[in-house]
Amino acid sequence: DAGITQSPRHKVTETGTPVTLRCHQTENHRYMYWYRQDPGHGLRLIHYSYGVKDTDKGEVSDGYSVSRSKTEDFLLTLESATSSQTSVYFCAISESARTPNTGELFFGEGSRLTVL
């Protein structure tokens, strides 16, 4: 299994509070991603990073921010959590999006967030 650790694995918080989820990798992969998984929607990309301090938005980035100060760590922050952000969050990594490496993703175990 790829060395990807997400923390916390479970969190319950209240509306309006800030929340930070951490993804730590030991694979030295360049690309890191945050997805959320919701029934009927599959996985939707929130933000991604293509290097230290290089990040960009995905399709559902509103209400989320990210930071990557080191290759191994990618943080996802909910500045003011809302009930619509209740979800399971997955971190993923890939070595390269370019051929010959074809960019398959390796996932962490997920972080289940409940916003009351």
Q: Which residues bind another protein (CB under 8 A)?
A: 4, 31, 33, 35, 40-45, 48, 50, 56, 58, 90, 92, 97-99, 102-110
The rounded distance, in Å, linking the Cα atoms of 27 and 15 is 35
Q: Amino acid identity of 86?
A: T
Considering beta carbons, is residue 16 or 52 the nearer one to another protein?
Answer: 52
Choose between 43 and 75: whose C-beta lies nearer to another protein: 43
Q: Which is nearer to another protein, 64 or 90 (CB)?
A: 90
Question: Tokens 């959320």 map to which residue?
Answer: 36
Phi-psi region of 110 (alpha: psi -120 to 50; beta: other; left: phi over 0): left
